[in-house]
Amino acid sequence: MYESRQGRQSPSLITSLEFFSQYASIGAILIGIAVILGWIFDVQLLKSVLPGLVAMKANTATGLILAGASVWLWHRRSPPITQYTAQVCAVIVLLIGLLTLIEYGFNVDLHIDQLLFKAPLDPINDAAPGRMAVHTAFNFLLLGSALLLFNIPHPNWFAAQVLALMVFQIAFLGILGYFYGNAYFYRFGSITSIAIHTAVAFILLSCGILFANPTQGVVAVVVSLNVGGLIAQRLLPTAIVVPPLVCWLGLFGYRKQIYTAELGISLLGILNVIIFSILIWWNALFLNRVDYRRHQAETALKQAKEELEQKVEERTIELRQANEQLQTEIASIARRLW
C-alpha cells in the first residue's frame, strides 16, 4: 500500500539499506556473543565496555543474539524451517521482555534472571541480581512483537516499523544519557540502568527491522524519489545528530562555568534559530533547483510536443497534396482511356 503511494524509489538506496539491515543484525549478534563470553570467562571489559559502567546482563545478551538471528534469518527465508526458526527466536525475545516486566510489575522472582549465570548484585543500583533494566525489558517486548509482525506470511510492515522506531527512541535516549553524563536518561528511577552497548545493540536491531524491507511501511516515504522523500533523506540525519550536539555544547559550557544556566538556555535558543534558518535556506535552495529542473523539463516537453504537432501537420499537408495530385493523375488517365 505504502509502496504504491510513494511512487518512484531509488533501487541503489533500497539495496544499501537492505545490506545494512543484515550487517546491523550481525552486529547485534556479535555484541551479544561478546558479552556471553565475558560472563563465561569473567571479563569485565566485555560485560561493561569501560570500568564503572553498567554491565550487560546475560539474559540481555541472549535476547540480542536471538533478535539479531531473527532479523538475519528473515533475509534468508526461502526454506520454511528458516522462517519457523525466526518466529521461534522472536517469541523467545518477546517472552524475555514480558517475564522480566512481570517481575518488576508484581515484585516477584520468576528465577529467569540468573538462569544462565549466577550474578552478584551490581553495585550500580540493580533491582535484583542478573535482572535487566526496565526499559531493556520493554524494548525486548517491542522487538519481539515487531519481529513477529514481519515474520508472518502477510507481514504488517507499518506496525513493525512503528515498534522499531519506539525501540530506537528508548535506546537513543539511553545513549544520550551517557553522552551527556546524565543517569536519568538511561536509568529508570533508582533501579537498574541500561548498559551503553545494550543501547547500541538496540539501535542496530531497530535499524535492522526498519531497513529489512524499505519499500514498505514508514520507511517507504524516505526512500521515495519524490520531493518528500528527497527532503526526508536530507533532513533526517541532521535532525538526529545536530540537536543532541547543540544541547551537549550548552551543558558543557554550563558545567565548566563558562556561563550561567539562563545564558546557556538563551544561547541554545539562538543556536536553534540559526541552525533551523540555515536548514530552511538549504532546503529552499534545493527545492528551487528541483522546481527549476522540473520547469526546464516541462518546457522541453512542451517544445517537443509543439515540434511534433508541427511535423505531423506538415506531413498531413504533404499527404493531402500527394493525394490530390494522385487523384488528378487518375482522373486524367481515365479521360484518356474513355
Domain locations in the chain? Answer: 11-223, 224-308
pLDDT recorded at residue 53: 84
- List the helix and strand counts (H, then E) for the chain: 11, 0
pLDDT recorded at residue 256: 86
Q: Which of 18-32, 89-103, 182-196, 302-316 has the lowest mean pLDDT?
A: 182-196
pLDDT recorded at residue 61: 96
Q: Residue 146: pLDDT band by 50, 70, 90 thresholds?
A: very high
Rounded to the nearest angstrom, the gap between the alpha carbon of residue 214 and the centroid of all alpha carbons in its chain is 9
Q: Residue 183: pLDDT band by 50, 70, 90 thresholds?
A: low
pLDDT recorded at residue 214: 93
Q: Residue 166: pLDDT band by 50, 70, 90 thresholds?
A: very high
- Residue range 174-193: mean pLDDT, rounded: 74
CA gap 199, 187 in Å, rounded: 12
Q: Which residues contact 211 (CB under 8 A, 6 or more apart)?
A: 17, 18, 20, 21, 24, 219
Q: Which of 138-142, 191-195, 307-311 has the lowest mean pLDDT?
A: 191-195
- Residue range 44-49: mean pLDDT, rounded: 90
Rounded to the nearest angstrom, the gap between the alpha carbon of residue 314 and the centroid of all alpha carbons in its chain is 57
Give the Å distances, CA to CA, from 159 to 90, 202, 224, 301.
15, 18, 19, 42
Give the Å distances, CA to CA, from 9 to 18, 167, 232.
14, 26, 13
pLDDT digits (tens, 9 = 90+) for 19-40: 999 999 999 999 999 999 999 9
pLDDT digits (tens, 9 = 90+) for 249-273: 888 888 888 888 888 888 888 988 8
Highest mean pLDDT among 46-55, 159-168, 237-246: 159-168
* 6 vs 46, higher pLDDT: 46
- Residue range 97-101: mean pLDDT, rounded: 96
* 328 vs 69, higher pLDDT: 69
Handedness of CA 12, 17, 23, 26 (dihedral sign): negative
Report percent pLDDT > 70 for the chain. 92
- Residue range 168-190: mean pLDDT, rounded: 79
pLDDT recorded at residue 125: 54
pLDDT recorded at residue 188: 62
Longest Cα–Cα distance of the chain, Å, equals 122
Under DSSP, the state recorded for 185 is G
- Residue range 4-33: mean pLDDT, rounded: 87
pLDDT tops 60 at residue 4: no
Asked if 174 contacts 136 with a C-beta cutoff of 8 angstroms, the reply is no
Strand-pairing partners, residue 9, are 224
CA-derived radius of gyration, the chain: 31
pLDDT recorded at residue 291: 82
Handedness of CA 79, 84, 88, 90 (dihedral sign): positive
Amino acid at 83: Q
Q: Own/partner pairs for 214-219, CB < 8 Å, 24+ apart?
A: 214/13, 214/14, 214/17, 214/18, 215/3, 215/9, 215/14, 216/2, 216/3, 216/155, 216/157, 216/158, 217/2, 217/157, 217/158, 217/160, 217/161, 218/2, 218/158, 218/161, 218/162, 218/165, 219/17, 219/161
